[in-house]
Amino acid sequence: MGVLIGVPIVVLGFALRFNALLVVTIAGVATGIAGGLQTVEIVSAFGKAFADNRYMGLIWLTLPVIALLERNGLKEQARHLISRLQAATTGRVLMLYFVIRQITAALGLTSLGGHAQMVRPLIAPMAEAAAANRHGDLPDAVRQQIRANASAVDNIAVFFGEDIFIAIQSILLIKGFLEQNGVVVEPLQVSVWAIPTAVAALVIHAIRLILLDRNLSHQMSAFKRSAAR
């Protein structure tokens, strides 16, 4: 049980709001010592983990690109595009992105979207512009609500869409877990049965976005009445 000492260290460190990198490093060292590893072996394990996952650092390269695009008017162009579409609403914009994101995730293209690459510079401003086009200037609380829903759309769509792609890590995880419990399945079976779940998520979230449009209308009506007083 001593090798589990890293778990309470991580929980306590995060609860006390210590530096996350420092907490994880200490937890890893403590786990290694509890497991009987020598200092050189612990350092080697850290080095191997870094080398195996170095490609994760590539995500940081997108941030300067996004910043340059935003500085040169990406958000403004997104808002201008939506403002020309009279039929656009916040719910419809987000629903269109949900469908595209889920389909691309089902094809294994999970990197085409994302909060930093797509939601913040494009989807959220377009959703806000659709609401402003119908209701006028938006209070900050409404803007934050729209941004939260834009982020939720990205999360939910990719979460339920990626399991349809047979060569995704989650499929292998499900297969391994079931086999450990005596249930033998093929990855294709798991992938096929992920389709009804993805469709259900699509329908449920479509209803949520319809309700979001109604909720925004009620909020803006109440806001305008209070402002008129």
Domain co-membership, 99 together with 22: no
pLDDT of residue 61: 64
Domain co-membership, 106 together with 203: yes
Domain co-membership, 147 together with 42: no
Domain co-membership, 89 together with 196: yes
Give Cα separations from 73 to 50, 67, 86, 124 (angstroms).
36, 10, 22, 14
pLDDT of residue 201: 95
pLDDT of residue 65: 67
pLDDT of residue 5: 85
Low-confidence spans in the chain with pLDDT less than 50: none
Domain co-membership, 204 together with 154: yes
Domain co-membership, 84 together with 193: yes
CB 154 within 8 A of CB 123: yes
Domain co-membership, 97 together with 67: yes
Give how many domains the chain has, as a whole number: 2
Domain co-membership, 10 together with 24: yes
Structural domain harbouring 104: 57-228
Domain co-membership, 42 together with 94: no
Domain co-membership, 119 together with 214: yes
Domain co-membership, 149 together with 109: yes
Domain boundary pick from 11, 35, 52: 52
Domain co-membership, 66 together with 144: yes
